[in-house]
């Protein structure tokens, strides 16, 4: 079960609307269960550096089947996954990557959002995920 | 002058329609004049390997302000640009990357398409470019 | 609006003069708004390792439209952007990257300086930025 | 004996003048004998893809103490150095990289030029090299 392109477009549209309602400009990425890019959109004026960060957030979420916000405490100095970011050609382990589930609750992909505070990023990613 | 997200979405929609009319499944990427990702879509069932190829085709086109089809003859063994692909962390120099121009004829970005024969890829990219 | 080469050369000249006045040897880089290299100079005897650092500082500043000094507190352990440096093939998030603005206040690129203390690096980058 | 920054600037100025006289827009790079960047300039409107190519041409020339034009025949299929471009994180082996020599004939660095035909690139690099 993989997110389809039309579902990914719905997810991105919902995320864009949430971003606009918050006055933010986001880079938004959707990957499938194989961690491969399904769709991407950079809102006009969104940070260039967030292109890669949004992609890495989405990949990181699907790599471990959990939101990146759950990883954040585990990657701190002294914590179990310290420096996990060195794997997989670079992970992003702060909030903004959220798994996508279908109505049956199965994971079908992930969304990654970057372009504002990590709280905003996570909120916009959640809004996208809810569109499924 | 950079392609906007809504323009990039129009370009991708036109490319998708052309791909569907040909019975092909494509990965389609749009970059701006700085070679940064603006939008991307992978049609359901399109090759995974074409995600990166479509991105590299779009980047290659904007890197040199020309369609990748124009580069193909120049990169053959014995030709002037042999092995140029080793630069810029990997180029794709076969057809499917096409520059995007606005009504005034200015280059505003590029589209890269991959997923079928290079003839199909180029034709679908052209169809996307004409939507501007 | 992108910094031109002659503007970039003015920026680098001003940075060099400031570095000389402080008895330091700097690597100095200017990128445009697309994060692409516009000009670079390594002062005689400046650290080799600072070639890449100065380039990454300039890119990091334009990636997020802010001076790298603003990022430094946000990337510490326990802070929101911890390990953001794993994105974009490597960021540098300590001081020395400064955005370049034209007279109208629009961002036209960024300067990155490396070769001494981060305080010196930032001061020299600021001196360069003021030349615009 | 390494090229100094002021010598590198003279080399780049001479290359720029030659490029202008030919109506071309070039990316121009100078490296020292350690293959480290000394100076770089992208003429306004020069290809983005040529940033990396000019750097790789200069590095390739100093890596082997010969102009890249001398390498071109040796890297063809069936020739001794076939696929040498896979080393050193990417070489460029077509013309445009030229070694820099001081008055005594000692190699002090290299210049790499990219942005037009390989003949133009080589001619502009030669013009730069002659400024020493």
Amino acid A83: pLDDT: 96
Mean pLDDT of B3-17: 98
CB pair distance less than 8 Å for D37 and C43: no
Nearest residue of chain D to residue B89 (CA atoms): D90
CB pair distance less than 8 Å for A117 and C80: yes
CB pair distance less than 8 Å for C5 and D40: no
Amino acid D86: pLDDT: 96
How far is D65 from D105, CA to CA, in rounded Å? 12
Minimal C-alpha gap between C98 and chain B (Å): 19
pLDDT in tens, D37-91: 999 999 999 999 999 999 999 999 999 999 999 999 999 999 999 999 999 999 9
Residue A59 contacts residue A110 (beta carbons within 8 Å):
yes
CATH code of the domain in which D75 resides: 3.30.450.150
The answer, yes or no, to whether residue B1 has pLDDT greater than 90, is: no
Residue B113 contacts residue B18 (beta carbons within 8 Å):
no
> Which residues of chain C does B32 touch, with a Cβ-Cβ cutoff of 8 Å?
34
Mean pLDDT of C82-93: 97
Q: Is C9 on the interface with D (CB under 8 A)?
A: yes
Strand pairing partners for C91?
none
Please report all neighbours of D, defined by 3+ CB atom pairs within 8 A. Answer: B, C
Strand pairing partners for C111?
C30, C98
How far is B36 from C38, CA to CA, in rounded Å? 16
Per-residue pLDDT band at C1 (split at 50, 70, 90): confident
Q: Is B35 on the interface with C (CB under 8 A)?
A: yes
Question: What is the DSSP code string of B4-42?
Answer: -HHHHHHHHHHHHHHHHHTT---EEEEEETTS-EEEEEE
Nearest residue of chain B to residue C109 (CA atoms): B34
Domain that holds residue A110: 5-130
Amino acid D119: pLDDT: 98
Mean pLDDT of B47-65: 98
Q: Tell me how many domains chain D contains.
A: 1
Alpha helices in chain D (DSSP H): 5-21, 49-64, 68-71, 118-129
Neighbours of C79 (CB within 10 A): 15
Mean pLDDT of D90-113: 98
Mean pLDDT of B102-121: 97
Minimal C-alpha gap between C118 and chain A (Å): 22
Residue C126 contacts residue C14 (beta carbons within 8 Å):
no
Per-residue pLDDT band at D23 (split at 50, 70, 90): very high
The answer, yes or no, to whether residue D124 has pLDDT greater than 90, is: yes
**3-class SS at C46?**
coil
Amino acid B111: pLDDT: 98
Neighbours of C103 (CB within 10 A): 6
The answer, yes or no, to whether residue C61 has pLDDT greater than 90, is: yes
The answer, yes or no, to whether residue B23 has pLDDT greater than 90, is: yes
Contact call for A and C: 3+ CB–CB distances under 8 Å: yes
Q: What is the mean pLDDT of chain A?
A: 98
Indicate which of B31, B32, B36 best probes the interface with C, i.e. most C CBs within 10 Å of its own CB: B36
Per-residue pLDDT band at B21 (split at 50, 70, 90): very high
Minimal C-alpha gap between D67 and chain C (Å): 23
Task: Kindly give the confidence (pLDDT) of every residue in chain A, 132 residues in length, as a single tens digit, with 9 standing for 90 and above.
Answer: 899 999 999 999 999 999 999 999 999 999 999 999 999 999 999 999 999 999 999 999 999 999 999 999 999 999 999 999 999 999 999 999 999 999 999 999 999 999 999 999 999 999 999 999
Nearest residue of chain C to residue A119 (CA atoms): C80
Strand pairing partners for C40?
C29, D40
Q: What is the mean pLDDT of chain C?
A: 98
Q: How far apart are the first and last CA of chain A?
A: 13
Contact call for A and B: 3+ CB–CB distances under 8 Å: yes
Amino acid B82: pLDDT: 97
Amino acid A79: pLDDT: 96
Mean pLDDT of D5-28: 98
Indicate which of B33, B35, B40 best probes the interface with A, i.e. most A CBs within 10 Å of its own CB: B40
Q: Which residue has the higher pLDDT, D72 or C1?
A: D72
Percent above pLDDT 90 for chain B: 99
Q: Is A40 on the interface with C (CB under 8 A)?
A: no
CB pair distance less than 8 Å for D53 and B80: no
Q: What's the DSSP call for residue D88? A: T
Candidates D40, D92, D39; CA nearest to D61 is: D92
Surface of B (45-104) touching A: CB under 8 A: 48, 51
Secondary structure of A46-92 in HEC code, one letter for each residue:
CCCHHHHHHHHHHHHHHHHCCCHHHHHHHHCCCCCCCCHHHCCCCCC
Cβ-Cβ contacts under 8 Å for A18 (sequence gap 6 or more): A123, A124, A127, A128
Reported ipTM: 0.96
Nearest residue of chain A to residue C90 (CA atoms): A90
């Amino acid at each position: 079960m993989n997110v389809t392109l039309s579902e990914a477009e719905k997810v991105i549209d919902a995320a864009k609307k949430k971003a606009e309602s918050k006055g933010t400009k986001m880079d938004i990425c959707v990957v499938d269960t194989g961690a491969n890019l399904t769709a991407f959109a950079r809102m006009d004026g969104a940070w260039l550096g967030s292109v890669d960060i949004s992609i890495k957030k989405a990949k990181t979420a699907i790599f471990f089947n959990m939101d990146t916000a759950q990883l954040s405490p585990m990657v701190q100095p002294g914590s179990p996954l310290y420096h996990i970011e060195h794997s997989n050609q670079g992970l992003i382990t702060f909030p903004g990557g959220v798994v996508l589930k279908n109505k049956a609750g199965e994971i079908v992909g992930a969304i990654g959002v970057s372009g504002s505070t990590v709280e905003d990023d996570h909120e916009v990613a959640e809004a996208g995920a809810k569109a499924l």
